[in-house]
Amino acid sequence: MTELIHQLFVPSGILFYPLLIGLLGSISFGIIGSYTVVRHVSYAAHGISHAVLLGIGGTLFLNHFFGWSFSPVAGAVLVALAAAWIIGSSTLYASHRADSVISAVMVMGMSGGLLFLAKTPGYFEPMSVLFGDILLVSRSDAGLVGVFNLLVILTGVVFYRRLQMICFDEEFARLRGIRVEFWFVLLLSMVAITIVTMMQVIGIVLVIALLTLPVMTALRFMNRLWHVMLLSSAICAVCVLAGLALSYQLDLPSGPVIVLLAGAGYLVSLCCTACSKGMPAGRHH
């Protein structure tokens, strides 16, 4: 137990920076995940998360062959933002083709990323990128991810009213003079950055689950959007902390363990609400 605490909370520990990224990311996931679920753009987020692999693989490929030293996180952010713009534009202006565009962005991003990784000798296996690897988290990456997290959190909080309106009632937002198209693309851009912030701990395949499951759990108990944000952030943080601890103790990949805990929490919430609705009213004497 002492060793686990040291690994988690001491800067020299192997779990310290993954935990730091995870806790900061939990706030972003709670805020942006709430917007994502209530706006019903989970599939768009799914497409963005898979397209990120192109940015990672492409950056590593260019670093190797040109001697550059760019962080894969920076490449992932650029590709994620490009994917968000493409998906957002297709959803707004060609909604009948949006699903096809999302699918195309997703498979082309993954395929291109895997090809780049296959042609980049001496780097980590694709499985580490797909499902997370805490050994990939460096101090410099933690700093970069921290900046992105703060940017997302500030945007989500400062523009809460506008984002809330476009999530619940676009027509009312238009009547109020809000540029729905701009704010929708901005929302997807924040989703893109949020996904990148947690990809090293969770992996790009499973990151979408952590973006939605804590929010779906919180929605079982909360009605107000900002209440959902707070509760889902707390749930996400608990899952990250417990998941990292369990994965270290049991020698398991961190991503699947964290997501399984989030999924278990959602199933428990379903059972709790089902039982509470099924309980008969108390007898009066």
Residue 9 predicted with pLDDT over 90: no
Q: Which two tokens stand for residue 14?
A: 């192997």
Judge contact between 205 and 131, C-beta under 8 A: yes
Average pLDDT over residues 156-179: 91
Per residue in 21-54, pLDDT tens?
A: 888 889 999 999 999 999 999 999 999 999 999 9
Distance CA 26, CA 234 (A): 7
Per residue in 66-107, pLDDT tens?
A: 888 888 888 999 999 999 999 999 988 887 788 899 999 999
Residue 285 predicted with pLDDT over 80: no
Cα distances (Å, whole numbers) of residue 183 to 48, 65, 118, 172, 258: 17, 39, 37, 14, 31
Distance CA 233, CA 211 (A): 10
Distance CA 158, CA 29 (A): 16
Residue 263 predicted with pLDDT over 90: yes
Amino acid 30: pLDDT? 94
Judge contact between 204 and 61, C-beta under 8 A: no
The full set of domains in the chain, from first to last, is 2-276 (1.10.3470.10)
Share of the chain above pLDDT 70, in %: 95
Amino acid 272: pLDDT? 87
Amino acid 24: pLDDT? 86
Distance CA 198, CA 258 (A): 12
Distance CA 48, CA 33 (A): 14
Question: Band of the pLDDT at 135, cuts 50, 70, 90?
Answer: low
Per residue in 194-233, pLDDT tens?
A: 998 888 778 887 888 999 999 999 999 999 999 999 999 9
